[in-house]
């Protein structure tokens, strides 16, 4: 437990994902790790998320409160438990008609969006608002409602439409590309006032956007990196919200995500056959050899093994990596990719692995263990994203002495410094244009640096020296929570 230097706050985190109960991306890691860091600092935090199948048992949750049938979807109740392997209390929103079904949080078992996502996530936000308003009566007067991404973003809207006392609200944008867009006919089903269908409300290019509910009504807005907070105010990066975000620029803050440095610790990683730190980097060689064996890469000490872990989507730029593959292989590189997503990219990666046995490996799927072994065992990690609000894997890679090769965008720009541009100060390699030539050039430069062991070692050590834990970020969030409380009272920000 850290020393407490502030009055503890009661914070309700609202999200559609939180590890280990439900995860499709970095959002789930961040919700849990941020909450855990706040709890360690003495704050009273609860994470509200839907009771997806099996979660009540896994969180050892018991019935806490009956919520009736707020949106006419069926019996709804709150169950209290704990996020497994943490000391973070979980509040699970049970409504079997909406959540007790196969598939993931957003997609059904066949990969199509649940047709009633507007109800699934309006109910989540509605329950958050109800709890926030009823807090004093149920013995937990909430200070802050912190909503994450579009599935939770109506919570600040419901609270703004309420006339009585309410807690302060914060919305965090993890990815502006997902706006939660539905036809205007959903308004009555989600119990929004008809007047909310307006520019100054939920309206977004003729439709309803749940995310806009957060961006328009929340007391404060955060993005998951400082550079992304600038990008979202531009026409290119704003996804149609740039005007609103420019207008609210004085309420918008970029806070770099942290990583869970217990789970991602090269010295004590249960997914690896051995451990290492900055003082024992030669031990990383054994992890590298084990990865090459596991992935079926040819043993070659001079090759630069380039790893990649993540969703295979347009955002992540894996198609650019496929285009740059000839250059990567020609310059003596090997490639190992773990991921799932876009069928076309999956097929192209499988074909590349088939055509280049021993130098290209592709594992289609989701595997915590292999993710750790790729990030530890590769020489470099490539993250060629077209846009990246923060990105976690490049921070894991830095901690593991695996210099990242990234595009200069969002959180990648905030965490990786090019060692050719900043000789002796960099921690990786950065390219600017989302084009194959720029990526190929960065891959070639990384390979050249890798062939110089002294330079490479210094690069690794500089990356490992930076603290990517939540220690810094959590203080930023606390200061934003305090500003939000000031806004709510009408005090100057």
DSSP-based three-state secondary structure for 58 = helix
- # residues near ligand ADP by CB under 6 A: 18
DSSP 267-315: TS-TTSSS---TT-GGGHHHHHHHHHHHHTPPP-TTSEEEEEEEEESGG
Of the candidate residues 12, 22, 27, 170, the single one contacting ligand GLC (CB under 6 A): 27
Contact 340, 312 (CB under 8 A): yes
Contact 318, 312 (CB under 8 A): yes
Of the candidate residues 26, 213, 258, 317, the single one contacting ligand ADP (CB under 6 A): 26
* Shorter beta-carbon distance to ligand ADP: residue 130 or 313: 313
Contact 158, 126 (CB under 8 A): yes
Q: State the Cα–Cα distance between residues 359 and 337, nearest whole angstrom.
A: 11
C-alpha distances in Å from residue 369, one per residue of 147, 276, 309: 30, 17, 11
Give me the residue whose beta carbon is nearest to ligand ADP.
Answer: 26
Of the candidate residues 8, 10, 20, 25, the single one contacting ligand ADP (CB under 6 A): 25
* Shorter beta-carbon distance to ligand ADP: residue 209 or 415: 415
Contact 228, 199 (CB under 8 A): no
C-alpha distances in Å from residue 460, one per residue of 131, 334, 362, 405, 440: 47, 19, 25, 13, 21
**Ranges within 396-415 binding ligand GLC (CB under 6 A):** 411
Q: State the Cα–Cα distance between residues 289 and 295, nearest whole angstrom.
A: 10
Q: Which stretch binds ligand ADP (CB under 6 A): 31-39, 106-114, 304-312, 478-486?
A: 304-312
Q: Taking CB under 6 A as the rule, does residue 229 contact ligand GLC?
A: no
Of the candidate residues 77, 265, 340, 471, the single one contacting ligand ADP (CB under 6 A): 340
Nearest distance in Å: CB 316, ligand GLC: 9
Q: Taking CB under 6 A as the rule, does residue 311 contact ligand ADP?
A: yes
* Contact partners, residue 179, CB within 8 Å, separation at least 6: 150, 204, 209, 210, 211, 212, 239, 240, 241
Nearest distance in Å: CB 470, ligand GLC: 12
Cβ contacts of 488-491, under 8 Å, gap ≥ 24: 488/166, 488/167, 488/168, 488/169, 488/219
Of the candidate residues 152, 224, 375, 443, the single one contacting ligand GLC (CB under 6 A): 224
* Shorter beta-carbon distance to ligand ADP: residue 206 or 365: 365
Q: State the Cα–Cα distance between residues 232 and 193, nearest whole angstrom.
A: 28
Q: Which helix (H) or strand (E) holds 151?
A: helix 149-152
* Contact partners, residue 305, CB within 8 Å, separation at least 6: 288, 291, 292, 297, 333, 334, 335, 336, 377, 378, 379, 380
Q: How far apart are the first and last CA of the chain?
A: 31
Residue 143-182 contact track with ligand GLC, rule CB under 6 A, x = bound = -------------------------------xx-------
**Ranges within 161-180 binding ligand ADP (CB under 6 A):** none
Q: Taking CB under 6 A as the rule, does residue 473 contact ligand ADP?
A: no
* Shorter beta-carbon distance to ligand ADP: residue 126 or 372: 372
With CB under 5 to 8 Å by kind, the binding choice for 209 among ligand GLC, ligand ADP, none is none
Q: Which stretch binds ligand GLC (CB under 6 A): 25-33, 151-159, 279-287, 354-362?
A: 25-33
* Shorter beta-carbon distance to ligand GLC: residue 26 or 266: 26
* Shorter beta-carbon distance to ligand ADP: residue 52 or 264: 264
Contact 51, 80 (CB under 8 A): no
Instruction: Please state at what angle helix 318-330 crosses helix 436-450, rounded to 10 degrees.
Output: 50
Of the candidate residues 338, 381, 416, 449, the single one contacting ligand ADP (CB under 6 A): 338
DSSP-based three-state secondary structure for 431 = strand
Q: Taking CB under 6 A as the rule, does residue 335 contact ligand ADP?
A: no
Q: Taking CB under 6 A as the rule, does residue 339 contact ligand ADP?
A: yes
DSSP conformation class of 25: S
Nearest distance in Å: CB 396, ligand ADP: 7
**Ranges within 359-388 binding ligand ADP (CB under 6 A):** 366-368, 371
Binding site for ligand ADP (CB under 6 A): 25-27, 29, 309-311, 338-340, 366-368, 371, 390-393
Site for ligand GLC, rule CB under 6 A: 25-27, 30, 174-175, 224, 257, 388-392, 411
């Amino acid at each position: 437990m850290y020393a407490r230097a502030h009055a503890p706050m009661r914070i309700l985190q609202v999200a559609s994902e939180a590890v280990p109960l439900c995860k499709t991306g970095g959002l789930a890691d961040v919700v849990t790790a941020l909450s855990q860091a706040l709890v360690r600092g003495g704050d009273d935090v609860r994470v509200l998320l839907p009771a997806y199948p099996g979660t009540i048992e896994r969180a050892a949750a018991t019935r806490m409160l009956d919520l009736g049938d707020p949106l006419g979807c069926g019996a709804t109740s709150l169950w209290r438990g704990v996020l497994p392997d943490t000391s973070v209390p979980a509040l699970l929103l049970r409504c079997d008609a909406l959540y007790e079904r196969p598939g993931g949080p957003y997609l059904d078992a066949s990969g199509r969006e649940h047709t009633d996502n507007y109800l699934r996530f309006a109910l989540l936000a509605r329950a958050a608002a109800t709890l926030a308003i009823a807090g004093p009566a149920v013995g937990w007067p909430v200070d802050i409602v912190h909503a994450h991404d579009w599935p939770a973003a109506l919570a600040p809207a419901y609270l703004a439409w309420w006339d009585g006392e309410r807690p302060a609200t914060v919305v965090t944008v993890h990815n502006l590309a997902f706006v939660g867009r539905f036809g205007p006919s959903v308004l009555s089903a989600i119990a929004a006032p008809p007047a909310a269908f307006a520019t100054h409300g939920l309206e977004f290019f003729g439709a309803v956007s749940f995310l806009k509910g957060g961006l328009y009504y929340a007391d404060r807005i955060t993005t998951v990196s400082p550079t992304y907070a600038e990008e979202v105010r531009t026409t290119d990066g704003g996804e149609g919200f740039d005007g609103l975000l420019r207008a609210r620029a004085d309420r918008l803050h970029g806070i770099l995500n942290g990583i869970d440095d217990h789970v991602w610790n090269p010295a004590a990683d249960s997914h690896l056959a051995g451990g290492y730190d900055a003082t024992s980097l030669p031990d990383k060689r054994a992890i590298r050899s084990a990865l090459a064996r596991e992935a079926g890469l040819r043993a070659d000490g001079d090759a630069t093994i380039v790893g990649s872990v993540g969703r295979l989507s347009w955002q992540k730029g894996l198609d650019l990596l496929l285009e740059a593959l000839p250059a990567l292989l020609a310059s003596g590189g090997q490639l190992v990719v773990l991921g799932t997503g876009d069928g076309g990219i999956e097929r192209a990666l499988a074909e590349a692995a088939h055509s280049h046995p021993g130098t290209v490996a592709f594992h289609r799927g989701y595997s915590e263990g292999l993710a750790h072994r790729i990030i530890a065992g590769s020489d470099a990690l490539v993250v060629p994203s077209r846009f990246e609000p923060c990105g976690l894997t490049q921070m894991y890679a830095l901690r593991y002495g695996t210099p990242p090769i990234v595009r200069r965008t969002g959180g990648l720009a905030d965490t990786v410094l090019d060692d050719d541009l900043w000789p002796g100060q960099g921690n990786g390699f950065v390219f600017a244009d989302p084009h194959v030539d720029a990526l190929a050039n960065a891959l070639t430069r990384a390979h050249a640096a890798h062939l110089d062991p002294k330079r490479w070692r210094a690069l690794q050590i500089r990356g490992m020296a930076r603290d990517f834990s939540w220690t810094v970020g959590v203080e930023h969030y606390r200061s934003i929570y305090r500003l939000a409380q000031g806004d709510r009272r009408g005090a100057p920000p």
